[in-house]
Amino acid sequence: MARLAPLDRKDLPQLEPMFQLVEASMGFVPNSMFIMARKPGLVEAFAGLGLVAMQGENLPDGLGRLVAYMASHSSGCQYCQAHTHHQAARDGLPGAKLDDIWNYERSDLFSEAERAALRVAQSAGVTPNEVTDADFVELRKHFSEIQIVEIVSIIAFFGFLNRWNDTFATPLESGPLAHATSHLAAHGWTGGNHV
């Protein structure tokens, strides 16, 4: 049960342009934003940061979505796991790759560059942070400095979301919930306090 209920969209006309942008990108407006709406400036700042952080224009296609999922899974936020896996599938990432993400170190479906990025996302998603200098040596073999900044931006953006949604027990929306139930439950996903 949500610790603060999401506000009703119809009661937030001043944020409607922002909601429309998010909806165009994600297919829905996350309940996390309807909880944030109590502080409209936070919604605007958050949406702006999300747009820039998730853009990942210098990253290989799909890598940002994989990094977001890995960081969220590592942090334990089941709301964000559902969202990031759902968005990765919506963006066309292969189902086999998404199903095998926790085997990324050994799976032939992942490149050495993807392994380096996912290793950093996994290590950065836990508290305390477990990223090592050796992780960055490996990251630098495959990515430019701007690409590394984009990878860490995605991890940090989801760090905020992981804390936000787990603290508020944000209720999952129907699309991500259905996706996670059919694709993640076999891997231990339960929805936790978000269903």
The CA–CA distances, whole Å, from 31 to 5, 22, 118, 127 equal: 9, 12, 27, 25
| 163 has a pLDDT exceeding 90 | yes
**Omega before 128 cis (within 30°)?**
yes
Give the burial string for 144-156 (b: 16+ CB within 10 Å, else e).
eeebbebbbbbbe
- pLDDT recorded at residue 126: 96
Q: How far apart (Å, rounded) are the C-alpha atoms in residues 193 and 195?
A: 6
**pLDDT per residue over 70-114, tens digit each?**
999 999 999 999 999 999 999 999 999 999 998 999 999 999 999
Q: Which pLDDT band, with edges at 50, 70 and 90, does 51 fall under? A: confident
Q: Which residue has the tokens 């804390």?
A: 163
- Domains observed in the chain: 8-55 (no CATH), 59-190 (1.20.1290.10)
Element (H, E) at 45: helix 40-55
**What does the pLDDT read at residue 85?**
96
CA distances from 130 to 4, 14, 25, 47, 150 (A): 32, 41, 32, 28, 19
Which whole number is the average pLDDT over 25-36? 95
pLDDT of residue 25: 87
pTM exceeding 0.85: yes
Predicted confidence at residue 57, as pLDDT, reads: 87
Q: What is the mean pLDDT of residues 49-73?
A: 93
pLDDT at 175: 96
Mean pLDDT of the chain: 95
